[in-house]
Amino acid sequence: MTAIAVTLAGSDSGGGAGIQADLKTFSALGVYGASVVTALTAQNTRGVQAIHEVPAEFVTRQIESVFSDLTIGAVKIGMLSRPEVILAVADGLARHATGIPVVLDPVMIATSGDRLIADEAVAVLRERLLPQVDLVTPNLPEAAVLLGDDSEEDGAVLAQRLVALGARAVLVKGGHGTGPESVDFLATAEGLERRLAAPRVETRNTHGTGCTLSAAIAALLARGLPLPEAVAAAKDYLTAAILAADELTIGNGHGPVHHFHAWWGERG
């Protein structure tokens, strides 16, 4: 049977993050990708110029269309900028995603520094959606926002605190950290704790890294991998995509990672 994953996320007109990055990642990892667009952004490698909100009712219609026809193997959730959209997604998952792995990437700030979520939406995300998903993948600043403080604690502690808050599993990403390694921390409600390290790559082409990692995890879950193995393999995929990012010449700001590094070779 064909493995299928769906991404519920915002559209990036520059192609490096959001829906576009997710669909590229799904394809690169051998998974058919469907999509539910939650917001439209006018965006490029230099930043986000404008955001056009998709009505919550239309988000619901997209969810109904996808799940009523396709056999979904995993769900990835990205940019949800308003409370009503978060509630529409939460209700849709409750109707259709029982027993399906769900990965939530709590997109709050773009690589450029632009804010992508309303302040009032954070509490709804934390209280309504967080308990419904199988894995949440915040970076260090996003983890602190979800916890409602400006914590300077390391990723392992933040992951454990989010599990205590009600998350089933948490992967705190270390890309915003310092040092020669980028270290992610995985913690689950069952007591699993794992440290995943990779060399920190010096490149400005890091647009869409968070979207790509969470989409890769979802794709691998759709293919049947257990969560710890899916997280580890997804990190390997992202690391390779970052290492190959400078083969691409895209835009004049933070360019994308190379989603198809294994396919394009030196032709990028």
Residue 211 designated active-site: yes
The residue written with tokens 């058919």 in the block is 32
Residue 206 designated active-site: yes
Residue 76 designated active-site: no
Q: Within its chain, how far is the Cα of 85 from the centroid?
A: 17
- Check 25, 41, 60, 209 and give the catalytic one: 209
Q: Considering only CA atoms, which of 97, 87, 83, 109 is closest in space to residue 134?
A: 97
Residue 209 designated active-site: yes
- Check 10, 33, 174, 208 and give the catalytic one: 208
Residue 210 designated active-site: yes
- Check 16, 175, 210, 255 and give the catalytic one: 210
Q: Give the β-pairing of 47-53 and 74-77.
A: unpaired
- Check 41, 173, 175, 188 and give the catalytic one: 173
Residue 113 designated active-site: no
- Check 41, 111, 188, 206 and give the catalytic one: 206
- Check 41, 174, 211, 255 and give the catalytic one: 211
> Which residues carry out catalysis?
173, 206, 208-211
